Amino acid sequence: MSTGRVRTKKKACSSDQSPDSLPVRSSGRQVKKKAAEAAADDDDEASEKKYRKCEKAGCTATCPVCFASAAERCAKNGYTSRWYHLSCGEHFCNECFDHYYRSHKDGYEKYTAWKRIWTSNGKSEPSPKAFMADQQLPYWVQCTKPDCGKWRQLTKEIQLTPQIAKTYRCGMKLNNSTKTEGSDQCSMPEDLRVAEVSDHWWYSMLILPPLLKDSVAAPFLAAYYPDCVGMSPSCTSTNRLPGESNLVKLEHLKSVPNLTVAGMNKYFQPFYQPNECGKALCVRPDVMELDELYEFPEYSRDPTMYLALRNLILALWYTNCKEALTPQKCIHHIIVRGLVRIRCVQEMERILYFMTRKGLINTGLLSVGPDQYLLPKEYHSKSVIIVGAGAAGLAAARQLHNFGIKVIILEAKDRIGGRVWDDKTFTGVTVGRGAQIVNGCVNNPVALMCEQLGIKMHKLGEKCDLIQEGGRITDPTIDKRMDFHFNAILDVVSEWRKDKTQHQDVPLGEKIQEIYKAFIQESGIQFSELEEKVLQFHLSNLEYACGSNLSQVSARSWDHNEFFAQFAGDHTLLTVGYSTVIEKLAEGLDIRLNFPVQSIDYSGEEVHVTTADGTVWTTQKVLVTVPLALLQKNAIQFNPPLSEKKIKAINSLGAGVIEKIALQFPYRFWDSKIQGADFFGHVPPNSSQRGLFSVFYDMDPEGKESILMSVVTGDAVVTIKNLDDQQVLQQCMTVLRELFKEQEVPDPVKFFVTRWSNDPWLQMAYSFVKTGGSGEAYDIIAEDIQGKIFFAGEATNRHFPQTVTGAYLSGVREASKIAAF
């Protein structure tokens, strides 16, 4: 900004010769001429003193008006020695500047008091311009009458509140009265400055970015400098405790990193705290994300306005996630002085639509009617067919439907849910044949959906006694020692893959065995027979996580997703079952059951989808959400065929299988031994029985019903594949009677055994990276084809594979892409 004063014209008396030095002998004509020139100069000077242009280069204000009117000799719209520019429509005069800045003036004390608060809370300079913008600019408010919407400037003494912004009508008196001054106030013209605010150049001429007052985001962001996250440091909501330094504040927060807001779900932590990292679906409140910069490049130089509005929108969403967040609900929370409030309201709408499209807000189980669609009309013209009504397909359909896009789901089976399938025939308890555990609840969309439904999840405890066949509970010190050695082996695997000279991938099981043997030889340590068995238990847990025998899993990429931020916090049991969430997601959607898709032809302008009954469905875009196993077996014919790159990626992943068994007993025979634990482990008698009912879960945390559920993993899946359900039950009961040998174990009154691998439309549980593959395959499978064919499902989510959460998020991701195309 230019700080030099405007140079005035040279007067006649500033020439080399003064009037006193004029020649004595001058003619009458010369004297008259000089007098005329002097008179003209006097007129110029008088005219110039009437007004002065703003010195800010590019400012359009030819006759600035002082908004402050603080000094007794305020220039108002007259002459001042200098105009201070805040925006093209907002200036204050030098007299008002002096009023606050000069120590002998009346306003100095007010300015210094503000400066102390600003300095103690904020990071930016507490300049006179910042003071005027934060304390003296008048507020602007929009008339809420539907057929008006004009912006009005409030008088200086009025403090804008959300309630005023929510209810304001033109002419409304705000001083102890809500009456209006006549019924025709809306007919009064709008201030001409308002129209300029939406122009790009107006924002570029703004001296200071807007800092919101009393933002709803303040409780979330107490650890940050307010002005670094778009909030005013002068507000009580952003104040620190008296005498608390920034250093003390940050050090204090290091001991309590998970800042939660009173009255809010503890799993809602949308913002990183300072020095915190590695938390999924978390944003830095002081930094724009890459996709935000791509969408809003104009904020790359100074992101303050964007951050202020984005943080406000996120905070409002998590404050009430049960209702759609609309522009109307956000507007009255934008409290900032000056014309820039108009700009903030305009930008907020853009940002809110972007965040809605990306699935950052207005997501989960929200359902909106035709007159409440979450995106503007320009998004509504698309039509989409989704193949598969599992978590991914339903998530995408719910999002697209709420956006206002026409969606039809074609599902091959006679039910929705895919690999989510709950059995509700057990007395008093829902048992998931598929997924039922939520791994890491902080910011997990499943936790959000449970909040929307009013469902409570049961936090799983950490206690897991390992019981040997024969009935003895393994000494916890042995379990801890073998758990340490097991994790040490995996650490060595991690170090091995960092070696760039090792180009060849090997099976994870082979690499673990190699490291284990080397450790035994080098250390001379000999594990006992029991310790060897406990190690086998931990290996079976790893096979449970991978969904496969370790001989097929990549040693280099088995945990590829761990390089990305994962969901933190509690592991919980969804006692009501995932189907409660799935059914709510599906509510109101156009779902056609028993319609297996055979082919997808995208060779023309439109896409043609053919189902098994011969019906041809025509649409603009198709989202494929079938399980990986079906893609590998070419269950759907694509025309043109899928690229070699995509086919290679599909085949580089494995279709993992685990099976479950659930048993209901006449009474809880395990209670006295397990003592309230949520699960207990089975130490395999030998490696050949590893993975055969390795963990048993108590399915009723309240301890009323008598139901256990166990899993079959690794080679044990193959072992039971050719057995009938009664034979599998018999094997399971043999194990339980060994684990509880000291007492009588009754026969179950009811049970089920899953057969996921035999289901023609599923054939798997979840994916893993095969030997020679990499995590990049997930991204390649997820790539769309020509903006027509899209892919979702857990096997397309590199960050969160193998989970319902990952499948759900992949559907949200693809809905965002489809809407943007």
Give the pLDDT mean for 473-486. 96
- Mean pLDDT score across all residues of the chain: 90
Listed in sequence order, the residues at least 6 apart from 754 whose beta carbon sits closer than 8 Å to its beta carbon are 433, 434, 659, 660, 661
Give the pLDDT of residue 36. Answer: 47
Distance CA 361, CA 484 (A): 41
- Say if pTM beats, i.e. exceeds, 0.85: yes
532 pLDDT higher than 50: yes
Tell the burial category of 305 from Cβ atoms under 10 Å away from its Cβ (0-12, 13-18, 19+).
buried
Give the pLDDT mean for 507-534. 94
Query: Where residue 260 falls among pLDDT bands split at 50, 70, 90?
Result: low
Q: What is the pLDDT of residues 220-249, one digit of tens each?
A: 999 999 999 999 999 876 554 444 444 444
| C-alpha triplet 92, 98, 101: angle, nearest 5° | 105
| Residue of higher predicted confidence among 276 and 431 | 431
Q: Are strands 431-432 and 607-611 parallel, antiparallel or unpaired?
A: unpaired
Upstream peptide bond of 210 is cis (omega within 30 degrees of 0): no
Distance CA 710, CA 713 (A): 10
Q: Which residues of 266-292 are buried (b: 16+ CB within 10 A; e: fewer)?
A: ebbbbbbbbebeebbbbbbbbebeeeb
Give the pLDDT of residue 1. Answer: 42
Distance CA 655, CA 633 (A): 11
Give the pLDDT of residue 247. Answer: 43
Bridge partners, 437 (sequence order): 573
Q: Residue 592: how many CA atoms within 13 Å on its side-chain side?
A: 15
Boundaries of every domain in the chain = 52-137, 377-418+570-654+763-820, 477-546
Listed in sequence order, the residues at least 6 apart from 677 whose beta carbon sits closer than 8 Å to its beta carbon are 461, 463, 464, 465, 698
**CB atoms inside a 10 Å sphere around CB 528:** 10
Give the pLDDT of residue 183. Answer: 60
Q: What is the pLDDT of residues 349-402, one digit of tens each?
A: 999 999 999 999 999 999 998 889 999 999 999 999 999 999 999 999 999 999
Q: Residue 382: how many CA atoms within 13 Å on its side-chain side?
A: 29
**CB atoms inside a 10 Å sphere around CB 682:** 23
CB 197 within 8 A of CB 204: no
Give the pLDDT of residue 22. Answer: 31
Three-state DSSP class for residue 409: strand
Residue 728 is classified by DSSP as: H
Give the pLDDT of residue 261. Answer: 78
| C-alpha triplet 666, 671, 674: angle, nearest 5° | 140
Q: Packing angle between helix 445-453 and helix 804-820, nearest 10 degrees?
A: 90
Q: What is the DSSP string of 490-547?
A: HHHHHHHHH-TT-----BHHHHHHHHHHHHHHHH-----HHHHHHHHHHHHHHHHHHT
Give the pLDDT mean for 210-218. 96
Domain 377-418+570-654+763-820 classification at class level: alpha beta
Listed in sequence order, the residues at least 6 apart from 346 whose beta carbon sits closer than 8 Å to its beta carbon are 197, 198
Give the pLDDT mean for 200-223. 94
Give the pLDDT of residue 238. Answer: 59
Distance CA 776, CA 795 (A): 11
Bridge partners, 283 (sequence order): 271
Count of residues in the chain: 821
Q: What is the pLDDT of residues 660-716, one digit of tens each?
A: 999 999 999 999 999 999 999 999 999 999 999 999 999 999 999 999 999 999 999
Q: Which residue has the tokens 């892409």?
A: 817
Give the pLDDT of residue 62. Answer: 85
Three-state DSSP class for residue 587: coil
570 pLDDT higher than 60: yes
Give the pLDDT of residue 26. Answer: 40
Distance CA 12, CA 45 (A): 11
Long-range contacts, 614-621 (Cβ 8 Å, 24+): 617/385, 617/408, 617/410, 619/383, 619/384, 619/385, 619/408, 620/382, 620/383, 620/384, 620/788, 621/382, 621/383, 621/384, 621/385, 621/787, 621/788, 621/789, 621/790, 621/818, 621/821
Q: Are strands 458-459 and 431-432 parallel, antiparallel or unpaired?
A: unpaired
Give the pLDDT of residue 466. Answer: 97
Percent of the chain at pLDDT > 90 equals 83
Highest mean pLDDT among 87-91, 261-265, 503-507, 519-523: 87-91
Signed CA dihedral, 213, 215, 220, 221: sign only? negative
Q: What is the pLDDT of residues 772-821, one digit of tens each?
A: 999 999 999 999 999 999 999 999 999 999 999 999 999 999 999 999 98
625 pLDDT higher than 60: yes
Look up residue 305 and give its two tokens: 């306005």
CB 781 within 8 A of CB 795: yes
Q: What is the pLDDT of residues 708-732, one digit of tens each?
A: 999 999 999 999 999 999 999 999 9
Q: What is the pLDDT of residues 41-96, one digit of tens each?
A: 444 444 455 678 898 999 988 889 999 999 999 999 899 999 999 999 999 999 99
Distance CA 107, CA 715 (A): 81
Listed in sequence order, the residues at least 6 apart from 697 whose beta carbon sits closer than 8 Å to its beta carbon are 573, 678, 679, 708, 709, 710
For 371-375, 406-410, 478-482, 736-740, which range has the lowest pLDDT when averaged over its residues?
371-375
158 pLDDT higher than 80: yes
Signed CA dihedral, 496, 502, 507, 510: sign only? negative
Listed in sequence order, the residues at least 6 apart from 428 whose beta carbon sits closer than 8 Å to its beta carbon are 700, 704, 705
Bridge partners, 465 (sequence order): none
For 170-184, 475-489, 546-560, which range has the lowest pLDDT when averaged over its residues?
170-184
Q: Which residues of 450-463 are buried (b: 16+ CB within 10 A; e: fewer)?
A: bbbeebebbebeee
Look up residue 819 and give its two tokens: 């809407």
E strands along 388-476, which residues?
406-410, 422-423, 431-432, 437-439, 458-459, 466-468
552 pLDDT higher than 60: yes
Distance CA 2, CA 614 (A): 74
Q: Which residues of 318-345 are buried (b: 16+ CB within 10 A; e: fewer)?
A: bbebeebbeeebbbbbbbbbbbbbbbbb
Query: Where residue 7 falls among pLDDT bands split at 50, 70, 90?
Result: very low
CB 202 within 8 A of CB 87: yes
Give the pLDDT of residue 33. Answer: 47
Rounded (10°) CA dihedral 308, 311, 315, 317: 110
Distance CA 599, CA 442 (A): 40
Signed CA dihedral, 742, 747, 751, 752: sign only? positive
Distance CA 696, CA 682 (A): 8
Terminal alpha carbon distance of the chain: 42
Rounded (10°) CA dihedral 757, 758, 761, 767: 10
Listed in sequence order, the residues at least 6 apart from 44 whose beta carbon sits closer than 8 Å to its beta carbon are 9
Q: What is the pLDDT of residues 425-438, one digit of tens each?
A: 999 999 999 999 99
Give the pLDDT of residue 21. Answer: 34
Give the pLDDT of residue 8. Answer: 36
